[in-house]
Amino acid sequence: MTVSRHLQSEPFDIMRLLEETENDASGALVVFSGTVRNHHDGKEVVKLEYSAHRALVEKVLAELEQEVIEKFGVHRCRIVHREGTLNIGEDSVLIVVRAGHRPEAFEAARYAIDTLKKRAPIWKREHYADGSVVYQDGEQLVPEERSAD
């Protein structure tokens, strides 16, 4: 099995990611963690399953990390998503941003999660307490046009 930089089935090692992104010029650290919650649209959720197009996710998230660094002038950006079955309370996505100051760090982290949902071919299947299972509608995966500058 190929080791993935951006997809993993095991829980995140936040300390490893913090060490990996260390930067002495950074005065701000923002960590966003998406967590599996126990409800959706009034239904009780018991677990989620994430599946992904692995090769494309690697490409898309590597490009997104670089885009975030360039667009917001931050020092580091790391994006990691889980795949497989996740239980309530488990983290499904982790974004680490380091920057000189907090405004650009917060903006960069928000942009990263919002853009990931639009570009990354990752699918979520919800399992409900009543036994039903539904793939959740996500964003339409269409590459956004980027300006030439």
pLDDT per position as a tens digit, 49-69: 999 999 999 999 999 999 999
- Exposure b/e, 110-122, CB count within 10 A at least 16 = b: ebbeebbeebbeb
pLDDT tens sequence across 10-24: 999 999 999 999 999
Does residue 136 surpass a pLDDT of 90? Answer: no
With the C-alpha atoms ordered 59, 62, 66, 67, is the resulting torsion angle positive or negative? Answer: positive
- The boundaries of the domain holding residue 76 are 7-131
Residue 77: CB atoms within 10 Å: 27
Domain total in the chain: 1
**For residue 147, is it within any domain?**
no
**For residue 46, is it within any domain?**
yes
pTM of the predicted model, to two decimals? 0.89
